[in-house]
Amino acid sequence: MTAVLLDRKPGYAILTLNRPQRLNALNAEMMSALCAALREIDQDGECAAVVVTGAGRGFCSGLDLSVLSQPNGMASLGVSGGNDIQRAFERFSKPVIMAINGIAATGGFELALMGDVLLGCEHTRFVDTHARVGIAPGWGLSQRLARIIGPSRAKEAHFTGNFISAQQASDWGIVSRLVASGDLLEEAEQVARDIHEADARIIKTVKHMVQSGLAVSLAEGLDMEYELSTAINAGVQSEMVASRRADLQARGRRQLN
């Protein structure tokens, strides 16, 4: 069975974690395949975005801890180099839409937060069991979650290992919105199609602005935005903007009707 399915669509791609019998637990094969697919998609000029989801009833249950029974333990997962999914997502220059179709647990929670846009459904659940199983988070969960939901909620999630329901995830801003499970993938694909219609240069620049800005102070972020926008906007001609105006106005009318 192929660990990660790559489905190319006009203007975007879908990556499906494909170990449904293990709730898409991450093993070395899946991590290597996921990183390789991201590198391939990033080099594809026709692909504007990627949707990531899980096969079956779960999104990702985290690292496959059955490897702990192997002689090399955690080292056998090889979570470095070509298998380092955190670095792979950090280097990926295009938007990532996470369609969280079920449980996103521990390492799967960390994986979900590597996305740019998270969509959930009634089956979406998040949980951090690092403290329960005795393994410290290493893919950014201790840093990202508190920035999204605040330190008190994040610490409660980390310390207790209690589930975060779909509604809580929506109320707290972990997911941007909830849709019916039957519509989840189509809704994520629609976001990807909308991105494909936009200016790829600006999408890439804004993604970099947001990610870099979160790592510095507001003043530093504003300076960085000014420098980047000045450089990229210097080449913009009025006719370039005018050529997009009619399409933009028509799109606005469609959305309002």
Lowest-pLDDT range of 36-40, 64-68, 200-204: 64-68
Kindly provide the b/e burial profile for residues 36-70, where b requires at least 16 CB atoms within 10 angstroms of the residue's own CB.
Answer: ebbeebeeeeebbbbbbbbbbebbbbbbbbebeee
Domain housing 163? 4-196
Whether residues 79 and 139 fall in one domain: yes
Neighbouring CB atoms inside 10 A of 6's CB total 16
The arithmetic mean of pLDDT across residues 217-222, rounded, is 96
Nearest residue to 35 via CA among 85, 75, 95, 81: 85
Distance CA 142, CA 139 (A): 8
Whether residues 143 and 249 fall in one domain: no
- Determine the pLDDT at residue 85: 93
Distance CA 71, CA 85 (A): 23
Whether residues 186 and 98 fall in one domain: yes
- Determine the pLDDT at residue 251: 62
Whether residues 139 and 238 fall in one domain: no
Whether residues 164 and 234 fall in one domain: no
Confidence of residue 241 (pLDDT cuts 50, 70, 90): low
Coil, strand or helix: which one is 127? strand
Distance CA 77, CA 67 (A): 7
Coil, strand or helix: which one is 14? strand
Confidence of residue 5 (pLDDT cuts 50, 70, 90): very high
More confident site: 120 or 237: 120
The pLDDT tens digits for 140-196 are 999 999 999 999 999 999 999 999 999 999 999 999 999 999 999 999 999 999 999
Distance CA 238, CA 100 (A): 40
Whether residues 82 and 205 fall in one domain: no
Residue 254 has pLDDT above 70, yes or no: no
The residue among 144, 168, 196 that closes a domain is: 196
Distance CA 157, CA 126 (A): 9
Q: Where are the alpha helices (DSSP H) in the chain?
A: 28-42, 85-91, 107-112, 130-133, 141-149, 151-160, 166-171, 184-197, 200-213, 218-233, 238-256
Confidence of residue 80 (pLDDT cuts 50, 70, 90): low
Whether residues 145 and 224 fall in one domain: no
The residue among 196, 212, 227 that closes a domain is: 196
Number of domains in the chain: 2
Nearest residue to 162 via CA among 203, 106, 114, 205: 106
138, 127 Cβ separation under 8 angstroms:
no
